[in-house]
Structure 1
């Protein structure tokens, strides 16, 4: 289950539909045929064959296309039975997007050439608008199988030889293989010199497009430790628009970081390691991993050895509240059991070497989520607070104390001093200033009062900066 950002789904769909209405399907068809024929002829030359590609091939562009969060996808069916897809971004396209796409293709080529991961092969691409379509595009193999998101919560599908254990075993084996590609820095894979022969190394994260300022952000990194990487993210967010929630996350980062996994080696990580991007066959084994946009080199707990996102959804209450409305949803007990299963799958796939990295990777992953995703920040913050304080009241009291503290309030050009609060200033009040005006609920002083704890979380959410920058 993919986490939303502040991007409006309605606005995104409207933008995509406008983009689709302007596409030239005949140009897509001709581009796909030309790319396929050129590819076949190159393969013939490399094997000593001299005959040209068949001249009577046809290509059918399947409509309507699929609409993703950032791309429109058309399926392409060739007359000889081969299936491709063409992916085209539908949002505003800037130089920073072109650079990120170039780095994605470089990283995918690196991974595909060195592992057996079932990543769709790229047959052709353009990172700019200087092509016959007038849009950036990527031509890739079509992945066959069933999307995991469509069957995960369907008990009737998991019968016979299909099992979630088999799914976890096959996925864990792939992630262990991906983790064998090791690097000494956190950032994006780049290459020196000519693209065909230069050395690979990890460079900075390139600038992103800030849709608020309509300007690119600054490049960051590369980083030499997980703590430095996450600390930089928090500091950057706090410089943009500080909040007590980010200040508390900074404290949580110091408390929750695992020093065993702070330094190199670092690994690639799937940028959206979730069930909508995984395809399985009729036995439940993974046969496809898609949507690698933004693939980076990360700490192992955030990279190849992290948990799949859909089995940690209970640590994101904002998302999990909606998830529980689904039929056959996973309970917190179910999700904990799945994490145990996946940890054991990593253990078996790595001969007992790597499962300790995975075991508590959801802590690091949710710290990163709370830092980067304003939509989920408050809910994850309270969940991490429950882990630390055994209740939500501890988090609430910490937030109230921080907003009045010398540490948080004193300007950098003044000498800091200690501010002491009375006990009643940090207690959870029965009538809270953070309460929803339309609600009659009041916070309780009881640590185990779930209703008031939920209200507390919702009220703090209203205090969160709704207008934080949204980068594409």
Structure 2
């Protein structure tokens, strides 16, 4: 029987290339896919982007860029640029996970970036991809008119193939900055200077995310816009279908097609449906441990809280990949741009702009976290630096405080923009759990590691005597066989709610609970029973937020 580790070791590299990148993997942003570099980067990379390189009419790019620049000057009532004879595309394109990038240089020194999806060909393109690109371009423009969030300006876009370039594209501002990865893990400067830079970055990030949180919607999905550029409707959204990618790898081996696979979802009306949509795409498990993991995932999803719609609109616009490689900063740590907004949509506020950035939550996902005690931050076994759990906890506390600070300023009228609800600092802290639960649902290589880790943390709290001597294997197998006693199911639900409650109050509360008295635990369990009763009476998910003040 294969184990979770065996399957992870077999497929991790391939699946990361297909779209699930490590949070600390910045290399895929800078891959040279020119013909001259084929030998160094491998024929497989060249093959992956071959269709786009063959389809795009680069000789038309200078004229398209000049025309877009002239049109932009008219729209913005700017002086028409003079002495612009031509634009020159740099010879070697680079690529991200799902795009090829061409750099555009004007004769006056201005630089733009052309972004082309790898699916932007006759054989791979479809109406879903076209709608997604249109939504991305218009959504990037939307916050720029209403906030000070640093985003690349979108000058022109075309979601079809019937244009001068013969491919879908977004033509946008070039941002002169460096990847946050390089500044966050700068091992040349002193520890004090590094802490100062990181603090400055997190302050800018928190400020931007609080501004973004003002854009809320009644449903989950891609945002559609009217002719005036205002949000007018919510439609289906796309996600990378890692389940389908993994199934393709399992069926065809390591030499199978390496192109991304997307699933079109929604629009959705509830938080729970957003978390559960990945389960519908998950193939039937074929091992005991997979069936056990899935049984625990389903049980935990029952406790995902639904918002009180009388106090807040349930879905909010957010960055689709809120991670370190998508933040460009100056050398001193100030944020210059948030990039890579493909597949942007409105999501549950539990996973919206109030959540932690993903580079601060790595230690709760053992499938990607590689810190080893005694190794320096530049001595990660995979060659990538890693922060210790203590360091990540420190910066999570800092970030949660910054979110609260900027939220208070906005609610006091000190920041621009309107909003529909008060920001809850508990949402930020709880995202440590919610984000990893979503990853466990969507990413088959991470499921076992995350769910078993959550089980361990629930067990450590010792809220219920039923959890004391339970092993993960025994619990998962009894659940999978539908043989688990009701007390076991209740104990797991209660423990998960307790985890959300204590983490939602503060991470200090989690540490305190681990060494708390019997009476403290008994009081907490009584509160959890109250939550469970509320849920049974309302036939909905528990309203955990209303109980925070009781802890």
TM-score normalized by the length of structure 2: 0.65
Query: Deviation at 1:127?
Result: 0.6
| Residues 293/261 of structure 1: CA separation in 2 closer, same or farther (3 Å cut) | farther
Q: Does 1:284 align with 2:330?
A: no
Specify which structure has the higher proportion of helix. 2
Between the aligned partners of 2:153 and 2:437, the Cα distance in structure 1 is 33
Q: Could you tell me whether the CA contact under 8 Å between 1:122 and 1:138 is conserved in 2?
A: yes
Match of residue 65 from structure 1: 93
Which deviates more, 231-240 or 270-279? 231-240
Q: Could you tell me whether the CA contact under 8 Å between 1:206 and 1:219 is conserved in 2?
A: yes
| Residues 185/354 of structure 1: CA separation in 2 closer, same or farther (3 Å cut) | same
Q: Does 1:186 align with 2:235?
A: no
Q: Unmatched 5+ residue regions in structure 1?
A: 408-417, 422-472
Query: Deviation at 1:243?
Result: 3.5
Between the aligned partners of 1:149 and 1:207, the Cα distance in structure 2 is 25
| Residues 149/231 of structure 1: CA separation in 2 closer, same or farther (3 Å cut) | same
Deviations 1:436-462 (A, max 9, x none): xxxxxxxxxxxxxxxxxxxxxxxxxxx
Q: Could you tell me whether the CA contact under 8 Å between 1:266 and 1:298 is conserved in 2?
A: yes
Root-mean-square deviation (CA), in Å? Answer: 3.5
Between the aligned partners of 1:280 and 1:288, the Cα distance in structure 2 is 7
Match of residue 368 from structure 1: 438
* SS of the residue 1:119 aligns to: coil
Q: Could you tell me whether the CA contact under 8 Å between 2:93 and 2:103 is conserved in 1?
A: yes
| Residues 30/392 of structure 1: CA separation in 2 closer, same or farther (3 Å cut) | farther
Q: Does 1:18 align with 2:50?
A: yes
Match of residue 403 from structure 2: 346
Match of residue 230 from structure 1: 275
| Residues 216/174 of structure 1: CA separation in 2 closer, same or farther (3 Å cut) | closer
Match of residue 251 from structure 1: 299
Match of residue 410 from structure 1: none
Q: Could you tell me whether the CA contact under 8 Å between 2:128 and 2:264 is conserved in 1?
A: no
Of 182, 199, 207, the match for 1:165: 199
Aligned residues: 400
* SS of the residue 1:13 aligns to: helix
Q: Unmatched 5+ residue regions in structure 2?
A: 1-11, 19-41, 249-259, 373-379, 410-422, 461-467, 489-551
Which deviates more, 324-333 or 15-24? 15-24
Query: Deviation at 1:157?
Result: 4.6
Query: Deviation at 1:160?
Result: 4.7
* SS of the residue 1:114 aligns to: coil
Between the aligned partners of 2:469 and 2:209, the Cα distance in structure 1 is 34
Match of residue 269 from structure 1: 318
* SS of the residue 1:88 aligns to: strand
Which deviates more, 363-372 or 235-244? 235-244
Q: Does 1:314 align with 2:347?
A: no
Between the aligned partners of 1:292 and 1:261, the Cα distance in structure 2 is 29
The equivalences for 1:327-406 within 5 A come to: 328-351=385-408, 353-390=423-460, 394-406=471-483
Of 49, 61, 67, the match for 1:28: 61
| Residues 70/236 of structure 1: CA separation in 2 closer, same or farther (3 Å cut) | closer
Which deviates more, 264-273 or 210-219? 210-219
* SS of the residue 1:317 aligns to: coil
Deviations 1:387-439 (A, max 9, x none): 212399732222222333358xxxxxxxxxx89x9xxxxxxxxxxxxxxxxxx
Between the aligned partners of 2:264 and 2:104, the Cα distance in structure 1 is 38
The equivalences for 1:90-105 within 5 A come to: 90-91=118-119, 92-105=124-137
Match of residue 301 from structure 1: 350
Q: Could you tell me whether the CA contact under 8 Å between 2:404 and 2:425 is conserved in 1?
A: yes
Q: Could you tell me whether the CA contact under 8 Å between 2:236 and 2:264 is conserved in 1?
A: no
Q: Could you tell me whether the CA contact under 8 Å between 2:132 and 2:222 is conserved in 1?
A: no
Q: Could you tell me whether the CA contact under 8 Å between 2:138 and 2:229 is conserved in 1?
A: no
| Residues 315/206 of structure 1: CA separation in 2 closer, same or farther (3 Å cut) | closer
TM-score normalized by the length of structure 1: 0.75
